[in-house]
Amino acid sequence: MNAPLPPSAPTAPGGLLLIGHAHHLARAPLPFITSLREYGRVVRIRIGTTPAYVVTDPALTRQVLVTDAAHFAKGGKIIDALRVFFGDGLATVADGETHLRNRRLMQPMFNKAHIATRGSAMIDQVSAMVGAWQDGEQRDVFADMNDVTLASFLVALFGTDLPAHLQGEFTRLMPEIMKGTIRQTILPSWVTRLPLPANRAHARRVARLRTLIDQAIDHHAGRLDAGTSIPGDAAGCPHAGRQAGLFETLLTAPEPLTRQHLQDEAITLLTGAIETTGATLAWTLYEVTRHPEVERRLRAELAAVCENRTLRFDDLEELPYARQVLQEAVRKYGPAWMVTRTATRDIDLGDHSIPEGADVVWSPYLHQHDPEYFPDPDTFDPDRWGPGSAATIRGAFLAFGDGRRKCIGENFAWAELHIILAAILQTWPHLELTSRPPRPQAVVTVKPDRLDMVFSRRTATVSPASVG
């Protein structure tokens, strides 16, 4: 006798006839996605008329990403829409031989020793930008964090002496490109192909971005041909001693990459690297202003390691409390909140069956707000990550994904997060929030809707009016 088929997953309440749960995802995506936990370990929702299965248990998500990865392919509507823009870059290329080959090719770009060769250049770039802010001026912190992150990433990727106009144009273009790309993923694909002004403007910007990337690649390739080098700072790394950026790995690949492929990888890396780290830093600074004790401990650790000198790359390993603070910001604020896969055949997940071709959704944000693993999940508590923190909470931390599609930039992200946080704290003894507490907005990442701060060189003083 055949075993009975497992039941299909429970459906989340509140779906409407033609739009399904799309209105919840559009209006209040984070409360909606975290609410699904109460209906089961796998919950069926509908986006329009198409069903999608949301995994609410981190152990099942690991099954999707690692153990049964062969049956849950990278895909889904969002990825299909992004492929128009990223081409076959690493994040959007389908699972299979091409992905594996490109992943093997790119992995050395982001190993720790190779990143270390770019350490001092990144620190110089970040310190110069952060040091140029006006004392006491009110600043849009999310925009600033994206700009600093972009500039330090360009220095890491393409080397130190990119023509200034390139950096300026990248900085102006990227926020518009991100907005346009989100629009493309939300709208039906036939609307994005109509000759509407917004579609034409997006296409023009993407074309311009590809031109800028070409110029950056040409510039970098020119330097490699000229053999420019300086003493390296990462003993044992084959790239030590060269001033080239991380992109050298692709420019000198044994089998030369086509120009289109180089562009696709550069666009993928730029978009993957900027808003994720930018949003994390903005939230970190916000939490630091709310928790004076966290700020005090961060500053004390930094002072003990650096005394009065500027940060060096090898200091980063000596800043465990900064790592706890950054990890807690990554936990609390996602920053990825919705990632998709497609079931390649009928398959059981937990107690339920998922039909072939269905979209499967997993959400780092959802898992990282699960009170079973993170008690009081809305509280910002860096001590969760202190020495001896439980393996169970590390198992539910899925911010960088897992398995063969795990974030390739994780080491880079930690290095960059530490550098930028340290540079800001070293340069500015006093940070003050000047806007109301920000609301998290889930778009590409979970970003603050508005976050203004004043950075000043004076330390906090007690005004006479507030004494006694």
Q: Which residues bind ligand HEM (CB under 6 A)?
A: 74, 90-91, 103, 268-269, 272-273, 276-277, 280, 330, 335-336, 339, 364, 399-401, 405, 407-409, 412-413
Least gap, CB of 246 to ligand HEM (angstroms):
8
Cβ nearer to ligand HEM, comparing 15 with 170: 170
Comparing CB distances to ligand HEM, the nearer of 91 and 354 is: 91
Which CB atom, from 407 or from 422, has the smaller least distance to ligand HEM?
A: 407
Nearer of residues 15 and 335 to ligand HEM, judged by Cβ: 335
Residue nearest to ligand HEM (CB): 409
For residues 15 and 148, which CB has a smaller minimum distance to ligand HEM in the complex?
148
Q: What does the alpha-carbon distance between residue 191 and residue 185 come to, in Å, rounded to a whole number?
A: 11
Rounded Cα–Cα distance for residues 119 and 125 (Å): 10
> Smallest distance, Å, CB 424 to ligand HEM?
17
Q: Helix, strand, or coil here: 74? A: strand
Angstrom CA distances, 318 to 140, 306, 383, stand at 30, 10, 17
CA 38 to the chain's CA centroid: 28
CB of 280 to ligand HEM, least distance (A): 5
Q: How far is the CB of 159 from ligand HEM (least distance, A)?
A: 16
In angstroms, give the least distance from the CB of 138 to ligand HEM. 26
How many residues in the chain?
Answer: 468
Which region holds residue 413: left if phi is over 0, alpha if psi is between -120 and 50, else beta?
A: alpha
List beta partners, residue 447. Answer: 441
Residue number with CB closer to ligand HEM (222 or 357): 357
Alpha-carbon distance values, 42 to 75, 77, 221 (Å): 18, 19, 49
Q: Is there a contact between 59 and 47 (Cβ–Cβ < 8 Å)?
A: no
Taking the complex as a whole, the smallest distance from the CB of residue 13 to ligand HEM amounts, in Å, to 28
Q: Judging by beta carbons within 10 Å of its beta carbon (0-12, 13-18, 19+), is residue 2 exposed, middle or buried?
A: exposed
- If one counts every other C-beta atom within 10 angstroms of the C-beta of residue 221, the result is 17
Helix (H) or strand (E) segment spanning residue 219: helix 197-226
Q: Closest approach of Cβ 18 to ligand HEM, in Å? A: 29
Longest Cα–Cα distance in the chain: 85
CB of 86 to ligand HEM, least distance (A): 9
- By beta-carbon proximity to ligand HEM, the closer residue of 15 and 316 is 316
In the bound state with ligand HEM, the residue whose beta carbon lies nearer, of 120 and 411, is 411
Measured CA to CA, the distance from residue 280 to residue 53 in angstroms comes to: 27
- How is residue 455 written in tokens? 């950075």
